[in-house]
A and B are shown apart, each in its own frame.
Chain A
């Protein structure tokens, strides 16, 4: 039986692998194991590990890795902790394939460990461009990965250009959209009751993470966004940032600038998050979800700063810098009837709802031999 090991460190990554796990858990020919780490285990970030149990999935290993401090130094040192722990797990479990998702440091550590131990590395959301250290991490993962899953043509071409052999690269779409496109989302009533939403007023969704190479500016950046939003004072639901360097300053900023219009949640389930996107008027900040996921809901996204720089974007995205006036104007544009009308029926460039099936078929069917294991870089 083929054994596939999943690595996940955050709510967002869980969104990538969840539809894949939901297929695999019913497949008699595949055994899965889940290694949960980083944010999943931190109470301050909502202990999202509980979501696995709720979905009927068993977490095989929990690895605590995050050192406190949330600085550039603590980030780097925490990765070292994960690297030593994942090595032991790979040694003892000997999976056939390690499935890596996205662009975070812990994923790179798992890729490095597995590749050194001659275990096949497969990578979801490969080849894309994202800003800050994550963008570098994603392409570093590609050098170690034996199988690349690209979500679109742009990403596919970038992998080929960066020296990857074409037989390794599969264009499959983005699996985290499958749940949304198959309508696995919370109902309007559930969302309204949960967040105490007033239906007669615009609903703003705010997800802003620190930008690692600008972590000293995190407080200022969060303040600028909140000041622009406070000019509207529409109900705003903010989801906690990740724990990258600068995260503490973001929390300080929203704690000092908050008013009753700002509701803050540590972590919400995928269904609720999707339900919220479905009824929201606009998503604001620098999360990839505004670019990747929001098009499924015809939801305007205001993408601030350079965290998502260079990424393929749909028509729903309005790009602005950290400037109160620009953000204010962008919100007005996003809320306008003309802009909304322009998003009717848009296609999401990242997927069609069938990505996880394609990924599972490749993972279960691919022959593991020397050709797959021994990589040649074409440059």
Chain B
């Protein structure tokens, strides 16, 4: 499904783990899409990424960019039909749809 209220799923890479947790708490999808200052998609951050960071004694004030997943799954407009297969195989909750310059076009979720 294409998500309408994208803002709930976006976070700037300079924001903190604490801010990310608040946003995740409110979006019910366990994950956020991370943007840099140029508004390009640069990563994702999930509950699990934050858990790993906290176990390594990172602080709630640590910037997202230091703990996010750089090596994230994405699709583009032409490959969007692969989403179902990815959701089934990889147990992730949202996928960013990006253009050829990493600008965000849509977000789709697994529901």
Contact = CB atoms under 8 A, between A and B. Distances in A.
Task: Please indicate whether A and B come from the same complex rather than being unrelated chains.
Answer: yes
A195 B72 CA distance: 9
Contacts of A50: 56
B58 interface: yes
Interface in A346-369: none
A43 B70 contact: no
Interface string B13-43: 0000000000000000000000010101010
A148 B70 CA distance: 40
Contacts of B91: none
A256 B67 CA distance: 20
Interface size class of A (residues with CB under 8 A): 10 to 19
A233 B65 CA distance: 25
Interface string B66-79: 11001101101000
Contacts of A256: 38, 40
Given A258-B40, A258-B102, A43 B62 contact: yes
A44 interface: yes
A255 B42 contact: yes
A154 to B, nearest CB: 38
B41 to A, nearest CB: 9
A295 to B, nearest CB: 27
Given A43-B62, A43-B66, A255 B71 contact: no
A265 interface: yes
A47 B52 CA distance: 13
B83 interface: no
Given A256-B38, A264-B70, A265-B71, A43 B102 contact: no
Given A43-B58, A43-B62, A47-B56, A255 B40 contact: yes
A315 B100 CA distance: 35
Nearest to B43: A264
Interface of A: 43-44, 47, 50, 194-196, 233, 255-256, 258-260, 263-266
8 contacts: A258-B40, A258-B42, A259-B101, A260-B76, A260-B100, A264-B70, A265-B70, A266-B70
